[in-house]
Amino acid sequence: MNFENIIPAIVTKRPSKICKSPYMADIIINEEEYLAHSPSLGCSGLVDAEKQVFVTELSSKNTKSSHKIMFSLVSEMWEGELYNSLVCTHPHIAETIVEHCLKENLFDFLKVKNYKSQVTFENSRFDFCGVDDNDIEFILEVKSVPVADYHNVNKQTKKKMIKNNSFVDKHPKEKIAIFPDGYIKPSKVPIPKSERANKHILELTNIKQNTNKRTIMVYVVQRSDANMFVISELDTIYKENVKIAKENGVELYYIQMHWKYENNKIQGNIINTQTVNV
């Protein structure tokens, strides 16, 4: 997968000082300031102030922003050497990747005769549905996974580990990709980090229990500096529902991307495909 006309930029503020929407950020390109659309908000810190990002210029003149943030650069030192990893922060690119795989029949776990996108079934809209090479109908949902860290722990535990110099105890390429992640308002009643993701896994389970369709969840890990993928320990509701889904026959997979920037282009390749353990 290739993206052309990619421009390096630095985030100076999000939300923008000009437009207070959390989907807008101020960026600097060659010492000039611009307004950029950030489709994933702050993306768990990947699109915060002082972060290097990669953007595309928007052709439409009917938008407040002139650019769109697509990728973020993670840079870390390890034993005196600098390690960089590109992370795709645009959530909809995950669907584009999976559709390309469906169109070209690149998945080992799913060969398709036909498919269509954005289909409503029961109470949810799913990314794809179609018929596989055994004439079995399938429903497939995609989730983007941009976040990875060294340990799957809460913020308080992380702060203590950092204070004790025990958090970053792995090589920068040995992180854990985590889903879901993100801020939720404090609540007396436990709620999932992503209501939408939780709804989709419940719907896929329900469909599997009541039909002969294949129900499939594909998590797209949008970075190559992780060597495993997990469902977040911090979202007990979602993790339990994923476990129930797998027990009922919902198929769970993750694919992992490697992104490379060169000469104003970013190229992406799938480097790993695995089933999800819960």
**Spans of all domains in the chain:** 2-87, 91-275
231 and 246 Cβ atoms separated by less than 8 Å: no
**Max Cα–Cα distance, the chain, nearest Å:** 58
**Backbone torsions φ then ψ of 2, nearest 5 degrees:** -125, 140
Q: For residue 89, what pLDDT is reported?
A: 98
pLDDT in tens, 230-276: 999 989 999 999 999 999 999 999 999 999 999 999 999 999 999 99
Task: For 91-275, give the CATH class.
Answer: alpha beta
pLDDT in tens, 37-96: 999 999 999 999 999 999 999 988 778 899 999 999 999 999 999 999 999 999 999 999
pLDDT in tens, 157-173: 988 999 888 898 899 99
- CATH architecture of the domain covering 2-87: Beta Barrel (2.40)
Q: For residue 123, what pLDDT is reported?
A: 82
Q: For residue 191, what pLDDT is reported?
A: 82
Nearest to 85 by CA among 224, 274, 193: 224
Would the CATH topology of 2-87 be identical to that of 91-275?
A: no
pLDDT in tens, 97-115: 999 999 999 999 999 999 9
Distance CA 230, CA 238 (A): 12
150 and 225 Cβ atoms separated by less than 8 Å: no
